Structure 1
């Protein structure tokens, strides 16, 4: 028996590839199937089952394409209603793969079909669980994503999750290994560890949600406290995972269409497509196609695309570094952005060489910022998460998280200059590009963000009254 965790950092997502005696299973696969098909061929094994822990909200799974390619059936837990052929397994049902078994443990709460898969090894011993979004390392799945589908409140779902954890997972032996679907950085939980593997015993000791003395009321309160609204694209990804989708190869063909400068310009005018520039933030600041949005491929690309663009049907034109076209298309497809028109042949350089209009971002170093800013007089907007801001921030700065930019941007006074920063420059350049696309020019973005600012002599604090407003 071999177990491999295939972890994708951009999505903080873990898929699992398991083989035993010439047969294989895959749990929660990513959208692109070729890596799995290549692995199966290399190992000389037959894919017997594709297991899904639940209908994922944060990414589009590869189950439909993988099943078509291999003939392997798709398995969900109880209550799963697919619009394609699948097995909706019963609680306790077992599936044989080589010399091992997978037992379905129905663990609703995150969603009502959520299930944990227990791997029973060749000796009949409980070896590991693949817990999906039911149990993370250091956290549990948020109980607010299935409210509409389940016609329940998040508190009711949290109560169901409490019972699932106590009755199905905490009863397992302490040495059973825990393999979750996500790690730190995913929006499917709020307190996930950077670790991606643990044991039941370790989680009983370290996971706040598995405290032995915790009551159901306490669990509900702690799990639902401080939940931010889920990204808008989550519901659309759930629908794609339930209903099916265009093949990844078709989406790749669309995105890989190389458009000349003239074709690119014409397509932008005719389709109203969003111009997505995936270059590094430093390069974008020096020059970009007007109205384009910068979300760098080298950062948390797919989650930010989903959070900020939101509508997976939005037509997109890509501007990227030459050689990064396929990676960009692949990572867009993982979160369901399939309506791709093509990419600019030769990247931004071809646009610039054609003598077309360009735009820039007013970016300064942290040292310049420290010299220019007047604490108490200058306006400083910190777009990091609330938790980052609370830990330490520039004195008298306002906290306006990037994820909420569509809410706070309408309160920005166009006649008042402000400084803009995040932690390192990635998120603040996203914000800068959105601001400029909407006509705001009255700001200065800080290179290196708070990481660089912290090295200056500027006064810093851990509190500011947020009753102040931008205007």
Structure 2
């Protein structure tokens, strides 16, 4: 028996590849299926089942393409209603893969169909739990994402989650290994650990949700402090439930190489969003006017989904040469399939064609320290609220990047402000969005709060409530 966790840092997502005696199962596969096909061929095993812990909201699963290529059956837990051929299992149903078994544990709460899969090894011992979004390390799945579909409140879903965890999972042996679907950085929970594998016994000791005195306390603890989910989540659920275009078609379409003239023509005729995936340092040196910068080197796909929202938005790519396929692949993971092509030769071809370029007014942390006037200068901090609360520049306003589409309307175009994040990645995203929408009276700080912290700019860990969301 072999268990392999295939972890994708950009999405903080874990897929699982399991083999036993010539057969295999894959749990929660990513959109691109070739890596799984390569593993199957290398190991000389046949894929028998594709298990889906639930209809995912934060990424588009590869279940349909993988099933088509391998003829493996797709398996969901009870109450799932996929709009394609699949096995909808019953609670406690057992599936055999070689000499091992996977037992379905229906654990509603995160979603109504959410299920965990308990691995029983060749000796009949319960050894691992693939817990999906029901149980994370340090947390449990948020109960507010399936309210509309379930026609229940988040409190009612949290109550179901309590019953699932306390009756189905906690009675299991402490030595069982927990393999969750997500880790720290995912928007599917609020308090996840950076580790991606742990024992159930350790989770029983340290996971706050597993140590509540009663159901009411559990409901209160897991529903407290939930941030609004990214806007693309509902569209990803629909794609996972209804189906989607084959990944190879999406990739072929996106790999359409466009000359400068063709790129301009397509942008003009389609209203496509120009997405520049270069680093913030490169983008700062010049970019195509009206383009949005979200760098591949950061949490690229989740930020695209959070900020662009509509998965059907036509997109034109500007990338470093050789990075086109990676950008298209990572966009497809969150359902952004409408990539019309990419600029041949990247931004350099635009410059060589003597086309107009734009710039962001970026300064160093030292320049910022020399010219900012605390109490008089306006400073926007686009980090998460938790980062801001830990420490921030005195008199700075908390304006998290995730909510820029809400707070941008409150920005006064005539009033100058400074803009920073932790290191420059998020503030350049914000800067590009602001300029694309006509706001230019600001200065962005390179290196962000990390660089500012080395200067004498006054800082505070006190949360000034009047500044947050103001």
**TM-score scaled by structure 2?**
0.99
Deviation of the 1:173 alpha carbon: 0.2
Q: Secondary structure at the match of 1:50?
A: strand
Match in the other structure for 2:14: 14
CA deviation map 1:186-240 (0-9, x unaligned): 00000000000011100000100001x5211111111001111110100000000
Equivalent pair of 1:103/1:117 in contact (CA under 8 Å): yes
CA deviation map 1:229-259 (0-9, x unaligned): 1101000000000001000000000110000
Equivalent pair of 1:397/1:464 in contact (CA under 8 Å): no
Match in the other structure for 2:225: 226
Match in the other structure for 1:361: 360
Deviation of the 1:56 alpha carbon: 0.2
Match in the other structure for 2:30: 30
Q: Secondary structure at the match of 1:24?
A: strand
In 1: Cα distance, 2:127 partner to 2:163 partner: 22
1:311 aligns with 2:310: yes
Equivalent pair of 2:135/2:180 in contact (CA under 8 Å): yes
Change beyond 3 A, Cα 1:276–1:102 = same
Equivalent pair of 2:399/2:468 in contact (CA under 8 Å): no
Equivalent pair of 1:396/1:464 in contact (CA under 8 Å): no
Equivalent pair of 1:398/1:464 in contact (CA under 8 Å): no
Match in the other structure for 2:248: 249
In 2: Cα distance, 1:130 partner to 1:35 partner: 20
1:147 aligns with 2:147: yes
Equivalent pair of 2:398/2:468 in contact (CA under 8 Å): no
Match in the other structure for 1:2: 2
Q: Which runs of 5+ in 2 are unaligned?
A: none
Deviation of the 1:466 alpha carbon: 3.8
In 2: Cα distance, 1:260 partner to 1:384 partner: 37
Match in the other structure for 1:159: 159
Pairing of 1:115-130 with structure 2 (within 5 A): 115-130=115-130
Divergent runs of 4+, >2 A: 463-471
Equivalent pair of 2:58/2:236 in contact (CA under 8 Å): yes
Deviation of the 1:442 alpha carbon: 0.5
CA deviation map 1:248-280 (0-9, x unaligned): 000000110000000000000000000000000
Deviation of the 1:427 alpha carbon: 0.3
Deviation of the 1:295 alpha carbon: 0.2
Pairing of 1:402-413 with structure 2 (within 5 A): 402-413=401-412
In 2: Cα distance, 1:74 partner to 1:469 partner: 46
Change beyond 3 A, Cα 1:337–1:411 = same
In 2: Cα distance, 1:308 partner to 1:375 partner: 30
Pairing of 1:87-102 with structure 2 (within 5 A): 87-102=87-102
Match in the other structure for 1:373: 372
In 2: Cα distance, 1:113 partner to 1:468 partner: 41
In 2: Cα distance, 1:124 partner to 1:225 partner: 40
In 2: Cα distance, 1:372 partner to 1:168 partner: 59
Change beyond 3 A, Cα 1:470–1:40 = closer
- Across the aligned residues of Structure 1 and Structure 2, the Cα RMSD in angstroms comes to 0.9
1:42 aligns with 2:42: yes
Change beyond 3 A, Cα 1:262–1:82 = same
Match in the other structure for 1:76: 76
Equivalent pair of 2:398/2:467 in contact (CA under 8 Å): no
CA deviation map 1:291-330 (0-9, x unaligned): 0000000100000000000000000000000000000000
1:448 aligns with 2:447: yes
Equivalent pair of 1:412/1:470 in contact (CA under 8 Å): no
Deviation of the 1:468 alpha carbon: 4.8
Match in the other structure for 1:239: 238
Q: Secondary structure at the match of 1:349?
A: helix
Q: Secondary structure at the match of 1:202?
A: helix
Deviation of the 1:469 alpha carbon: 8.7
Q: Which runs of 5+ in 1 are unaligned?
A: none
Q: Secondary structure at the match of 1:220?
A: helix
Q: Secondary structure at the match of 1:369?
A: helix
Q: Secondary structure at the match of 1:352?
A: helix
Deviation of the 1:350 alpha carbon: 0.3
Deviation of the 1:464 alpha carbon: 4.7
In 2: Cα distance, 1:397 partner to 1:108 partner: 42
Equivalent pair of 2:362/2:446 in contact (CA under 8 Å): yes
In 2: Cα distance, 1:165 partner to 1:451 partner: 40
Give the paired residue count. 470
Match in the other structure for 1:274: 273
In 1: Cα distance, 2:304 partner to 2:441 partner: 25
Q: Secondary structure at the match of 1:254?
A: helix
1:292 aligns with 2:316: no
In 2: Cα distance, 1:380 partner to 1:229 partner: 24
Match in the other structure for 2:425: 426
Match in the other structure for 2:168: 168
